Structure 1
Amino acid sequence: MPLSPFEPYYASDGCTLYHADCVVLMDSMPEGCVDMIFADPPYNLSNGGFTCKSGKRAPVDKGAWDESRGLATDYAFHEEWIAACRRVLKDEGTIWISGTYHSVYACGFALQEAGFHLLNDICWFKPNAPPNLSRRYFTASHETLLWARKSPDARHTFNYEEMKHGSWHENDPMKREGRQMRSVWSIPAPKRSEKVFGSHPTQKPIALLTRILSACTNPGDVVLDPFAGSSTTGLAALALGREYIGVDTDAAYLDLSVRRLKTS
């Protein structure tokens, strides 16, 4: 049964996509109906800078949705969507937020202001990150992932044995076989094979979402992504037997999601 009265943009077994503002969509959902949220909100870094793409200088222009509106407005936005996420999460539910230094500190503060309890910050190291062309800064080669639970009194899901003994070391040279999973993960950016239907400018690798969902969800759990993009979260969720709800304001990226999800 759908968790929102909104008309789905796309729906199949275990998967529902919505073309909507994520806050409005979540406000239409019942309280405490989601087991886990993965959020990859705008990083607010598309403001005239440049980066390296395919070995060449390229502008950092991901779209109007990624532009900063100023510190206060950006923070108010994070407060709003994080509060909406808290309402739809179950008491034992957890949220993951991905970001760079442009946004992740504001998200972390907003999480704590909203009453979340921070569990870990994960350093996702990208061994194939592009070089820094300006030669005025250290080369950015990681993103930060925040993991927090809704209630400090509820028991959240953490599949410790799977994290310790799974075959994660096969794709991550920093994971030692049979040892506890640490908070620094070495996972390359998305492979070319993950972009055959097109790509999103902040697309995450399937290996990253597979590890996250394997760590803190169980089969049958409902996973929500309020900034779905190309639905890498959905691909990982369906492969692991979870249910997926994705929301995005851009129909073009939802169409990309549909192309990817139909082949999963």
Structure 2
Amino acid sequence: MFSTNSSAYKLFNENNLDFMKRLPDSSIDLILTDPPYNLSQFSRGNIHLNNGKTINNKIAEWDSIPLNPNDYIEPFTRIIKPTGNIFIFTSYSLLGKWYDAFNPLFSTFQIFVWHKTTPTQSVYHNSFLNSCELVVCLWNKGHTWNFSSQDQMHNFFECPSCMFPEKIISPKHPTQKPLELIEHLLLISSNPNDIIFDPFMGVGTTGEAALKNNRRFIGIDIDEKYVKASLKRLSIY
């Protein structure tokens, strides 16, 4: 296990289900996380282009490990505060499983759409570009909600994929989300000094969004190299 001693953030290198057993009931204000999409099973392999670049369709080894949303019912519902929100990035292939697991337990199960203005190009021109990703949004009545205008209340957000100079963290994470997107979700659904939790932390984008906006952060990742990258990233705050 690896952890930090900062009062603003704590990072852990372990299985998130084991870790959440130690979190107190109703201790988290916002769960904002990006679990594996399990898309590797649909991959036809990496595509090597004539210019020497490769389109990575295999993603990573951890994406091939089956994710069961039912495993997160008890810990998520136990640790989230009554005023809290839960945002979970997901794929079309897992959306129904998240719905079946969590829709009966929350007063609202809603979908938020991120439109990527820089999607991976279609080499063979034989399908739509995968330019949209989905976020499962869960809350109960009385949840934290910060909107100043109707324009901010759209369940749609448009921005580029994570690119240079933001995506210079080593090691690179194949599904790193842009800070602009994570900040948008965090600011509308939490307040200063709230505790933000990401059990699939990756390289710490949710953590940076939290610290940058005067929130506290708890992050977990099972891969030690990503925890070390997150520690380096967050140490400037």
TM over 0.5, yes or no?
yes
**Partner of 2:153: helix, strand, or coil?**
coil
Q: Aligned residue for 2:222? A: 249
What TM-score, normalized by structure 1, do the two folds share?
0.81
Q: How many residues align?
A: 233
- Taking the aligned partners of 1:106 and 1:137, their CA distance within structure 2 comes to 25
Pairwise CA RMSD: 2.1
**Residue identity opposite 1:160 in structure 2:** F
Quick one: structure 1 residues 260 and 96, their matched pair in 2 at CA, closer, same or farther if it must change by over 3 Å? same
Assess if the C-alpha contact under 8 Å between 1:51 and 1:133 holds in 2.
no
Identity of aligned residues (%): 29
Partner of 2:85: 94
1:110 aligns with 2:101: yes
Q: Which blocks of at least 5 consecutive residues in structure 1 are unaligned?
A: 1-6, 165-177
Measure the CA separation in 2 of the matches of 1:52 and 1:205.
24
> What corresponds to 1:130 in structure 2?
120
Find out whether 1:63 has 2:60 as its counterpart.
yes
The counterpart of 1:158, out of the listed 145, 158, 166, is: 145
CA distance 1:59–1:91, change in 2 (3 Å): same
The CA distance in 1 between the partners of 2:125 and 2:154, in whole Å, is 31
AA partner of residue 60 (structure 1)? N
Identify the structure with bigger relative contact order (alpha carbons < 8 Å, sequence gap 6+).
2
String of CA shifts for 1:143-194, please: whole Å, max 9, x gaps.
Answer: 0111111xx4x40011011xx3xxxxxxxxxxxxx83431221111113111
Q: Secondary structure at the match of 1:185?
A: strand
Give TM-score scaled by structure 2 length.
0.90
Helix, strand or coil: the match of 2:120? Answer: coil
Task: Provide the secondary structure at the position in 1 that maps to 2:75.
Answer: helix
Say yes or no: does 1:49 pair with 2:44: yes
Q: Note the residue ranges of structure 2 that are not aligned, 5 or more in a row.
A: none
8 A Cα contact 1:36 1:89, kept in partner:
yes
Q: Shift in Å at residue 130 of structure 1?
A: 1.1
- For the residues of structure 2 that align with 1:244 and 1:44, how far apart are their CA atoms? 26
Conserved 8 A contact 2:60-2:174: no
Aligned to 1:35: 29
- SS of 1:219's equivalent in the other structure is coil
From 173, 195, 215, give the equivalent of 1:200. Answer: 173
Contact kept? 2:162, 2:178, Cα under 8 Å:
yes
Q: Deviations over 1:22-67 (max 9, x none)?
A: 1110111111100110121110012343466997443422322211
